[in-house]
Each structure stands twice: as structure tokens, then as C-alpha cells.
Amino acid sequence: MPSSYEDLTRRISELEDALEAELAEKRRKFRYQLERSRVVFDTEMRARHRAARERLSSFLSRTRPLVVLTAPFIYILIVPLVLLDLFVSLYQAICFPVYGIAKVPRREHIVIDRQHLAYLNGLQKLNCIYCGYANGLIGWVREVAARTETFWCPIKHSRPVIGSHGHYHRFVDFGDETGFQQDLSALRRSLREDDRDKS
């Protein structure tokens, strides 16, 4: 009889398959396909998108002045984001091979594709590129940190954690010193096995 962990893993896989089927249906509905990871709309849909594009002047004229004044505060974050990207890349390149953990691929987290939507004007496309990079980067950094935590300190916290990462459910219960001593090696091995399965 399969364990509850195996059953949950199977159900997650089934849900991922259902999600992919739903995405395929959306691709049919909005008439685009992926060709070598690039989005390609059919001719009629692309023409509809172009017709729906709002001119930049119109877009800016209906934007509140205070919203425009916040733009520098949004875009100045590119500096710490790029530094974070650089330092986490360096950390992962140096430390993960030593720990025996497969590197987390950036391309699986940082997805920049909304600039292909012809119904967005230039400023909207720039904003979407920025958001895709920033949110993807944070997701990638979170996975690097999660694998690091799984390797070094896979112990649950004493109270519930909102939005815990995907490895957290396997951590040893808080206060279970025996479980920690017994399970640490197995948790590290399973992390390596998970990485091999994904590659």
C-alpha cells in the first residue's frame, strides 16, 4: 500500500497534468503556440491585439500624477535586485557543488514573455519585463534558499509559517532531537535525488 507521501506526490503530479491540459486549452482559445519557448500568435489574433493597444499618450494622460511620481521608487529597486542576482549566482556556483545539490535553473523561474503581447504599449511592456524579472528572481532566490535550508537546518518552526516553501513539509518537527539526528542524512539525500529527478 502506498504511503501518504507517495499518494500526495501522485496527486500533485495529476494536478500538474491537469494544469498543463488547462494551459493547452488556453493556448487554443487565445490562438497562440510555443515555438522553441517563444510565443507565436496567429495572424488574426495579433491584428486584434494591435487594434486594442492603447497609445502611450492616452495611457499617461489617465495616470494619476502621484502614481507617476512613484516610478523612481519602483525602478531604483533594480540595483539591489541585480546585486542579489549576482551574489546568489555566485553563492550557488561555489557552494552547491560542494554540498552535492544541483543548481536551481534561473530560466525556470525568471520568465520574461509578456513583451510579445501586441496589445501592450511600450511602457506597459517595460513594466512587464521588470515585474517578470523581479518576481522570477525572488522565486529563484527562494528556491536556492529553500534547498540551502533543507541541507543545513531542516527543522520546522515552533509556530505555523505562512507560505512555506516546497521542501518545508519534509522537515523534522520542532523539538524532535531524535528525528533530527536520524533524518538529516536522509533529507540531504532526498534533496539530491529530487534534483536528479528534475534534471
* Residue 138 to residue 109: CA distance in whole angstroms: 9
* Amino acid making up residue 20: E
Structural contact between residues 180 and 172, judged by C-beta atoms closer than 8 angstroms:
yes
Q: Mean pLDDT, to the nearest integer, of 58-66? A: 90
pLDDT score, position 141: 98
* Residue 68 to residue 64: CA distance in whole angstroms: 7
| Distance between first and last Cα of the chain | 28
C-alpha cell at 187: 533529507
C-alpha cell at 139: 522565486
Tell me the pLDDT of the chain averaged across its residues: 90
Query: Looking at the predicted structure, is the pLDDT value of residue 80 above 60?
Result: yes
More confident residue, 188 or 89: 89
**pLDDT tens digits, one per residue of 11-58:** 888 999 999 999 889 888 998 888 887 888 889 998 999 999 999 899
Per the rule left: phi > 0, alpha: psi between -120 and 50, beta: everything else, 100 is: left
CA distances to 3, 26, 77, 143 from 186, in Å: 17, 40, 39, 19
Confidence bin at 3 (pLDDT 50/70/90): low
